[in-house]
Structure 1
Amino acid sequence: MTSSPTTPTTGGRWLVGAAIVLLALNLRVVVASLGVVLPEVRQDLAMTPTTAGVLTTLPVLCFAVIGFSSGGLVRRFGLHHATVALLALLAAGLVARTLLDDTVLFLSTTAIALAGAAVGNVILPPLAKVHFPDRIPLISALYGAAIMAGATIASITTVPLSEALGGWRPGLAAWALLAALTILPWLTLLRHDVHTGPATGDRLPMREIVRSPLAWAMVACFGAQSAGAYAQFGWYPEILIDGGVGEHQAGVLLGVITGVGIPLTLALPWLMARTGDTPVLPLFFGTVTAAGWLGVLIAPASLPVLWSVLLGLGGGAFTWVLAMIGKRTRTPAATTALSLLTQGLGYLLAGLGPFGVGALHDATGSWDAPLIALIASTVVITTAGVVISRPRMLEDTLR
């Protein structure tokens, strides 16, 4: 039977808000913590370059496949129970992968942790819709910034943490503690869980959602932005190094992209309130992203900080789309369905970013073609963003 949260007190809203932010803080740790110690992991596990390639593609694949199929878990067990389960899965995977010496098992346990993160990606918009229907841009900005902050913190601290604890294994396993601690506030919310279907009576089957132009605009905008973002994670330092930037500086500049996105994301509620139902924000995100990639193409070593700042500003499209999922739906059931489609197919499209950039570089022997393709992809962000900006609700586009 469907349940809904009781009207929370001010203290209750603070608890739920803090729990949502903590949840978001966990969702990129499994990826960001591994990337900075990958050379040591590869050497210790005798990992081949092909296997390492699979490992770097695994996050996007898990986010797409697991995220898209997680709707049944949420509907059956409820948002709060599903949150506790995903955090337990994340913690278990983070620990288990550090206890194994077999490459296949390392990939498998990493996939377990990523499965937890994938469910977390999908569950954030409906959690915001249920608990903060009057503050969707604000809570979306907070959890978007927390996702970026978690990735930044894990990237910066995992290496010194590994050195202090005696190796990459305890350095990676230590992040399971964050997931375990995040479970605690969610345990107090289990008595007031929320099921987003099917007993709500307003559940929207996926076969209806896919008929909506608004839904496909969400998928296109999210997929194009995420493809560029994961291309940055995988190739940005190497592109800069080949363009004449120092190795250490190139790594720092990747951090600049993430760092710039945090204050922009926090400012998103104010920006959304000021711009209203206009395409100003998606046009801005697409334009600055295109300008950043164009700068890298023309003069990578001349003003690399500026190019990185522009790309970081363009990354605000990620949180904007997540916020619009809640803003363009009337019910938690519709929010969940739209979130599943947007992130499931969107992350699948995102895999074309790092894969396509690498393939084009191998085929041409240059970064020019990949960078031109990334510039072209910003047209998708702006075009789809204009559609999303129109003041229409998902339910109305299905009639």
Structure 2
Amino acid sequence: MTSARPLWEGRAMALLGIVLVAFSLRSAVASLSPVLDHISQAFPVSPVVVGLIGAAPPVCFAVFGLLTPLVERRFGLERVAVVALALMAAGLLLRGLSVDSVTLLGATALVFAGVGSGNVLLPPLVKKYFPDRLGVMMTVYSTTMAVSTFLPPLVAVPVADSLGWRISLGMWGVFAAVALVPWVGLLIRERREPAAPVVTELLVPDPTDGVDDLRDAVAASTGPISTAPASPRIFGRLWRLPLAWALAFVFATSSSMAYASFAWMPAMLVDIGGVSPATAGFLLSVFAAVGLPCSMLVPVLVVRFQATRPLFFFAAGAGVVGLAGLLVAPRAALALWVVIFGLTAIMFPLSLVLLSIRARTPESAVALSGFVQSLGYAIAALFPLTIGLLHETTGGWQAPIVLLAAALVAAAPAGWISGRRRTIEDEWERRHGRW
């Protein structure tokens, strides 16, 4: 075991860079929808365009999640990280300079090209620079990402009111630009003093090992990390396993609720709740903040108590209750319904934990992660656009809310199957013989 040393000892630039990257990954997602009302005063933004913008994150996560490992093997972690941050910074700044819905959509696609790559790069960067402090760094960067998810909706509208929507959107590009500084510095240092090769194997914990090991595995499972691609043989077998499909649908349900909400919740709350855009932005930040305690508690409950099914059905049930409240009596307790619906955030850390403990080997875990995340993000990309089309067609929010509730109910079989205490190898052997 590598002995632990202070986080800042000889790697302060890496620590700062990782924190800034983590901040930029989520602020890019959460900073746009609260100010769409302000933008629409400058040029028209149709529901279809808003739906496409909401679909951009999962699409880019799926596409660039597959492409980034190939590019990283050719150019190295730090170089690709610099390119990803440059794309994010440029896209965020250009988003504030948009002149119509086409340029707004184009700048957003540029942003999420960088974000999709950054999602994949962050875990191996942590493993490279902090192999002795993986659990601590998992907490550091996951907490940073949680903060940067609820902070932008909180400040976006007040900044737009006082300084304009262009400043409100473009200012997040400054953080991404500042994040370039430590990584460029590390590149320069590496050219002068080449670093020894680092093994970046995927950690797959024994469920009895404890929370620190699980945190390490969750950090590793947020994107494809292995220096070799997932085995085509294993990946091909996953299509025939109900457990793999169930995990993909749980992940898809979690992502669909999140990205549909970040695209449409502020506009929906203004219409059905009668609140101001600033209040709607605040409530979106509350919705995002619910995910912070969930990310801390869920790994403990899964590893110590095997609480997969209770957690899933509690999250799905809470989501249905929250949506029912928004549908039937939104003005009676708007904030309460948003918080209850926000408990669907339980599904995200639950999905990441399951990616780690439902496979025996690193090779299987990489294949499972690629299968689940690619399929899950592809499904999630449909929801923001579909909700936009439903809203435009019906002129209201009843049909979109019913669609979200129906998706939660439809995911119930997947949640039940995901709770089986077996790996994908176990399931294959039960059905087809030797793995």
TM-score per shorter chain, which class? 0.7 to 0.9
Q: Is the deviation greater in 77-86 or in 288-297?
A: 77-86
In the alignment, residue 67 of structure 1 is paired with which amino acid? G
* Aligned mates of 2:226, 2:51 — CA distance in 1: 43
Aligned residue identity for 1:66 = F
Deviations 1:186-223 (A, max 9, x none): 56497355567999678423434444433322221111
Structure 2, unaligned runs of 5 or more: 202-223, 429-434
Choose which of 172, 175, 182 in structure 1 pairs with 2:172.
175
Verify the 8 A CA contact 1:288 1:313 in the aligned structure 2. yes
CA contact (8 A) 1:68 1:345 kept: no
Whether the aligned pair in 2 keeps the contact of 1:130 and 1:332 (CA below 8 Å) is no
1:244, distance to aligned residue in structure 2 (A): 4.6
Mapping of residues 1-399 of structure 1, within 5 Å: 7=2, 9-12=4-7, 20-44=18-42, 46-49=43-46, 51-98=49-96, 101=99, 104-124=102-122, 143-161=141-159, 167-184=164-181, 188=186, 191=195, 193=198, 203-205=230-232, 206-247=235-276, 249-276=279-306, 278-329=308-359, 334-364=364-394, 366-394=396-424, 397=427, 399=435
Q: Which whole-Å deviations, capped at 9, do the CAs of 1:61-88 have from their partners, x for residues lacking one?
A: 3233333443423444455554343223
Q: State whether residues 136 and 327 of structure 1, in contact with CA within 8 Å, keep that contact through their aligned partners in structure 2.
A: no
| CA shift in 2, pair 1:297/1:158, >3 Å | closer
* Percent identical: 37
Conservation of the 8 A alpha-carbon contact between 1:142 and 1:266 = no
Paired AA for residue 6 in structure 2:
G
In 2, the alpha carbon distance for the partners of 1:201 and 1:105 equals 37
1:286 corresponds to which letter in structure 2?
A
What's the offset of the Cα at 1:290? 1.7
User: For 1:167 and 1:299, how far apart are their aligned partners in 2?
Assistant: 33
1:51 deviation in Å?
A: 4.4
Q: Secondary structure at the match of 2:231?
A: coil
User: Where does residue 208 of structure 2 map in the other structure?
Assistant: none
Name the structure 2 match of 1:3.
Answer: none
CA distance in 2, matches of 1:26, 1:277: 32
TM-score, normalising length: structure 1: 0.79
CA-CA distance at 1:392 after TM superposition: 3.3
Equivalent residue number for residue 204 of structure 2 = none
1:277-334 CA-partner distances (Å, limit 9, x unpaired): 6422212211211221122223222222221121122212112212332343456555
Amino acid at match of 2:175: L
Query: How many residue pairs were aligned?
Result: 392
TM-score under structure 2 length normalisation: 0.74
Q: Classify 1:279/1:21 alpha carbon distance in 2 versus 1 (closer, same or farther; 3 Å).
A: farther
Task: Give, as a single letter, the amino acid of the residue that structure 2 aligns with 1:64.
Answer: A
Local SS of the residue matching 1:300: coil
Per-residue deviation, residues 346-398 of structure 1 (Å, max 9, x unmatched): 12211332233333445555544433332222234443233333333445556
In structure 2, how many angstroms separate the alpha carbons of the residues matched to 1:388 and 1:139?
Answer: 28
SS in 2 for 1:10: coil
Q: 2:19–2:141: 8 Å Cα contact kept in structure 1?
A: yes
- Match for 1:182: what amino acid? A
Unmatched tracts of structure 1, length 5 or more: 1-5
Residue type of the alignment partner of 1:153: L
Q: Report the secondary structure of 1:316's partner residue.
A: helix
Instruction: Give how far 1:116 is off.
Output: 1.0
Q: Distance in 2 between matches of 1:93 and 1:338?
A: 31
